[in-house]
Amino acid sequence: MEVFPTHHYLNDGYGIRSWLLTRDHKRIALLYLAAITFFFFIGGSFAVLMRIDLATPAGDLVSDDTYNELFTMHGIVMVFFFLIPAIPAVLGNFLVPLMIGAKDLAFPKLNLLSWYIYILGGLFTLHALVTGGVDTGWTMYAPLSTEFSTTRVIPAALGIFITGFSSILTALNFIVTIHRMRAPGLSWFRLPLFLWSTYATSVITVLGTPVIAVTMLLVGAERVFHFGFFDPKIGGDPVLFQHLFWFYSHPAVYIMVLPAMGVISELVAAFCRKPVFGYSFVAFASLAIAILGFLVWGHHLFVAGQSVYASLIFSMLSFLVAIPSAVKVFNWTATMYKGAISWQTPMLYAIGFIGLFTIGGLTGLFLAAIGMDVHLTDTYFVIAHFHYIMVGGTIMGYLGGLHYWWPKISGRLYPEGLARLAAGIIFVGFNLTFFPQFILGYLGMPRRYHAYPPEFQVLNVLSSAGASILGIGYLLPMAYFAWSLRYGKVAGSNPFGATGLEWTTTSPPPTENFAVTPIVTSGPYEYPSPVEKHVA
Amino acid sequence: MRDDTLHHPALAHHFDNLEQQAEAASLGMWVFLLTEILFFGGAFLVYTVYRHMYHDAFVVASHELDVTLGTINTAVLIGSSLTMALAVHAAQTGSKRLIQLFLIVTIVLGCVFLGIKSVEYAHKFREHHVPGPYFQFDVKYVREAQIFFSLYFVMTGLHALHMIVGIGVMLVMLWHASRDRFSPEYYVPIEVTGLYWHFVDIVWIFLFPLLYLIGRHGVP
């Protein structure tokens, strides 16, 4: 019978001040968890409205303008306030110091500040929302955003600008912490793969985010002060905006998916009881994705009037990103091969991730091929593709990780049966929502329209039905995680029998994480090989 | 000595010793400066693209900037970098009075720069060189010159904003110095402030020739 520890970070101080002024990375992670969950359901509610509207060919639920605002706000909230911060700010904040045997991140005050910056950016976005919304699409292309849109572009752009600094500060904190705060003996190649991918993500964040910040600033200056950067009337080039925007926003895709890949590496090792196959290849694949990710933005501009030669090179480079991504998928599969797989909830998410990410990645190659892309640009094929990466990839990884480390975070177990059921519902709901969209896009249904020819209705109804199943799937974990806080079984330090420093301390951990600084003498996934187990 | 640094009042609880803490702070500042390079880099990219597209208009427009004031400002800023470096040196040798002296001189030089910059801005306002509906310029280049001046105001404005932040940080450092917070064992805040200030100077070292100087001789 496991005993709940008497002293831990959750009972080290009570009351609202002990949370809002905390410097403990674990409490800040929970602050982020609350804020991010809030924005997830805000962003999700826009998706619900869109899917209801799309159930019939006529645009009859909302007006055209409102529909424009729905998909814009869905995109902005989900990308900037959920997908980008989700895994780094919640799981990363909680785990980076625990995984390296440190007491906290290098800059605890900065960490708290980054949460407040996130909230401030969120308030601007909510302000834009309640005072009328934005209709430019989350991409905010000029000159629509700088001149023609009459909606609340400035507060929304400010929200994106401000929130960017919260990601930058978190990433900076992780980079310094991983460089300078590792426990004795914890060399780079003994780091858990989650940290390699967190590190690679942080590098992208630090290098990419300032570019979107300055771009938003230029848009703001053009809109408010009538400065000229992208305005064709004075010789400005709107395509330059697209280059600047995608220079950040394409790498941002990897900001969203790389941390999930790190989570999957941990899950596969823990539930197959084997070291990750080809550890260093998986580690370097993260860095390769981070570097290559900066060289492919032009594949968003194939039909924007970019030179054909530039497009050819961007197309080729985009194909290259498939290599490190495939290395990861193959290595996870090779890890599972002859592993002692236990089908617990986090593993279900991991397997779901591998399948959905593979579909999302392969359809990405369709879009990277110039000839195909000319036909598929701005169709539902693109929507389906990136939702397979972001929802099928990032959210699967996020939920898998949240389940895996929930006993560490809360000290209690979630109800396993219900959790497996929810994982199944999410997988089915997800595919029913988004697979029909591949076909819709292939048949030519454009994105961002809410009225469509009647022959598309069957597939749209399937998609809307899937979305409602998916919605239930997302509500379930909310409910049983909350339930488990009080009624869950006490977890103990290491309920999954996993390796890793975070499992050597109590659940929930004490404020200072470890009673004594751990000394590391081995690699991250030292599970006994099946042969040894047999002998023992 | 070693025990001193383990119980130093400036040592935060989650670091093992002052050395680790100092290394973390300085790495943190370098990473931050990396993001700053990319931040200004976006604006420099826009400048490069449009200078290439509208070379003649940019040359004509850059003639409207006041090279004398720009040169004086460059000298002022390089001077402030020197005094900042001297402040860091004073911190290393543990001289409180010299830290305060050099920080104050650096702050004053920074304010002189901003003062001269605001005089230049005022000129531009009077000459209707602020982009927008009231912009006036040689008819031949009136469209593209707006892009030049848009870049001029945004880039020098962002630079000035960074200087204001830097001056604010130095005032905080001055306050810390007056309360004897720094010693030869612990001066990393002064050091990273110096890194930041030098970075802001280097941005100007690029802005000055790009906006004021290149293309000035020869055509128009």
Choose among B14, B28, B42: nearest Cβ to A244: B42
CB contact, 8 Å: A166 with chain B?
Answer: no
Confidence at residue A532, expressed as pLDDT on a 0 to 100 scale: 52
Q: Does any CB of chain B come closer than 8 Å to the CB of residue A234?
A: yes
Task: Provide the Cα torsion A249, A251, A254, A256; round to 10°.
Answer: -30
Token readout for B2 is 């070693």
Predicted confidence (pLDDT) per residue in A332-374, tens digit: 999 999 999 999 999 999 999 999 999 999 999 999 999 999 9
Write the pLDDT tens digit of every residue in A102-147. 999 999 999 999 999 999 999 999 999 999 899 999 999 999 999 8
- CA triplet A6, A8, A9: central angle to 5 degrees? 155
How many Å apart are CA A333 and CA A344, to the nearest integer? 17
- Strand-pairing partners, residue B183, are B186
Model confidence band, residue A531 (pLDDT cutoffs 50, 70, 90)? low
Per-residue model confidence as pLDDT tens digits over B68-79? 999 999 999 999
Nearest CA in chain A to B150: A227
Q: What is the pLDDT of residue A2?
A: 83
Residue B220 is given by DSSP the state: -
Q: How far is B66 from chain A (nearest CA, A)?
A: 21
- Token pair listed for A415: 């109800």
Residue A228 contacts by C-beta under 8 Å, 6 or more apart in sequence? A222, A234, A235, A236, B131, B146, B147, B150
Judge contact between A347 and A341, C-beta under 8 A: yes
- Distance separating alpha carbons of residues A301 and A370, to the nearest angstrom: 10
- By C-alpha distance, the chain B residue nearest A173 is B28
The runs of H, that is alpha helices, within chain B are: 2-6, 18-53, 55-62, 67-93, 96-126, 142-178, 188-208
> Could you report the per-residue pLDDT of A153-180, keeping only the tens digit for each?
999 999 999 999 999 999 999 999 999 9
CA–CA distance, A285 with A292 (Å, rounded to integer): 10
Name the 3-class secondary structure at A158.
helix
- Phi/psi for A495 (5° steps) reads -65, -25
| A266/chain B closest Cα distance in angstroms | 26
Query: How far are the Cα atoms of A303, A313, B75, B146 from residue A308, in angstroms, in the given order?
Result: 10, 9, 46, 30
Handedness of CA A180, A181, A185, A191 (dihedral sign): negative
How does residue B8 score in pLDDT terms, banded at 50, 70 and 90?
confident
Residues belonging to chain A: 536
Q: Is A275 helix (H, G, I), strand (E, B) or coil?
A: coil
Token pair 């304010």 is found at B111
Cα R_g (chain B), whole angstroms: 21
pLDDT tens by residue, A206-235: 999 999 999 999 999 999 999 999 999 999
Rg (CA), chain A: 23
Q: Which residue of B has its CA nearest to A177?
A: B24
**Contact between residue A117 and residue A123 where contact means Cβ atoms under 8 Å apart:** no
Contact B53 A235 (CB under 8 A): yes
Residue B41 in this model has a pLDDT that exceeds 60: yes
Query: From CA A223, how far away is CA A146, in angstroms rounded?
Result: 5
Percent of chain B whose predicted confidence (pLDDT) is above 90: 87
Distance CA(A321)–CA(A329), nearest Å, equals 13
Instruction: Tell me if the bond preceding A454 is cis, omega within 30° of 0.
Output: no
Of A347, A356, A434, residue with least CA distance to A392: A356
Contact B49 A176 (CB under 8 A): no
Of all residues in chain B, the percent with pLDDT exceeding 70 is 95
pLDDT digits (tens, 9 = 90+) for B111-163: 999 999 999 999 999 999 999 889 999 999 999 999 999 999 999 999 999 99
Q: Which residues of A touch B144 (CB under 8 A)?
A: 234-235
The rounded distance, in Å, linking the Cα atoms of A279 and A283 is: 6
pLDDT digits (tens, 9 = 90+) for A258-307: 999 999 999 999 999 999 999 999 999 999 999 999 999 999 999 998 99
Give the distance, in angstroms, between the CA of residue A512 and the centroid of all CA atoms in the same chain. Answer: 28
Please enumerate in sequence order all residues whose Cβ is within 8 A of that of A88, keeping only pairs 6 or more positions apart, or say none: A167, A170, A171, A174, A198, A201, A202, A205, A255, A259
Q: Which ipTM value was assigned to this complex? A: 0.93
A172 touches chain B (CB under 8 A): yes
Find, among B70, B57, B72, the residue nearest to B150 by Cα.
B57
Q: Provide the 8-state DSSP code for A512.
A: T
Strand partners, A412: A490
Orientation angle between helical segments A238-272 and A279-292, nearest 10 degrees: 170
The CB density around residue B209, as the number of other CB atoms within 10 Å, is: 12
What's the token pair of residue B118? 């605001």
Note the residue count of chain B. Answer: 220
Over pLDDT 90: what percentage of chain A?
96
Backbone angles phi, psi at B65, to 5 degrees: -80, 150
What is the rounded average pLDDT for all residues in chain B? 93
Among A34, A40, A26, residue whose Cα is nearest residue A93: A26
Token pair for B194: 């110096």
| CA-CA-CA-CA dihedral for A47, A52, A54, A56, to nearest 10 | 180
**pLDDT top residue among A509 and A528:** A509
pLDDT value at residue A528: 78
Q: Which residue has the tokens 């899937």?
A: A466
Residue in chain B closest to A203 (alpha carbons) equals B31
A438-to-A82, A234, A306, A321, B87 alpha-carbon distances in Å: 24, 40, 26, 22, 63
Q: Do A172 and B28 touch (CB under 8 A)?
A: yes
Residue A265 is which amino acid?
A: S
Distance of CA B10 to the CA centre of its chain: 28
Q: Is residue A266 less than 8 Å (CB to CB) from chain B?
A: no
CA distance A131 to A527: 55
Q: Looking at the predicted structure, is the pLDDT value of residue A534 above 60?
A: no
Distance CA A91, CA A262 (A): 11
Spell out where A276-333 has E strands: none
Nearest to A182 by CA among A524, A508, A410: A524
B2 pLDDT above the threshold of 70: no
Interface test mutation site (partner A, options B38, B58, B156, B188, max chain A beta carbons within 10 A): B38
- Work out how many CB contacts closer than 8 A connect A with B: 113
At residue B7, does pLDDT exceed 90?
A: no
**A240 to B143: CB separation less than 8 angstroms, yes or no:** no
Report the SS3 class of residue A412. Answer: strand
Residue A154: closest CA among A125, A117, A116, A130: A125
Q: Quick one: pLDDT at residue A536?
A: 44
Q: Which residues of B touch A218 (CB under 8 A)?
A: 42-43, 46, 154
Handedness of CA B116, B122, B124, B127 (dihedral sign): negative
pLDDT, tens digit (0-9, with 9 covering 90-100), for A311-332? 999 999 999 999 999 999 999 9
Q: What are phi and psi of A412, to 5 degrees?
A: -135, 160
CB contact under 8 A, B43 and A214: yes
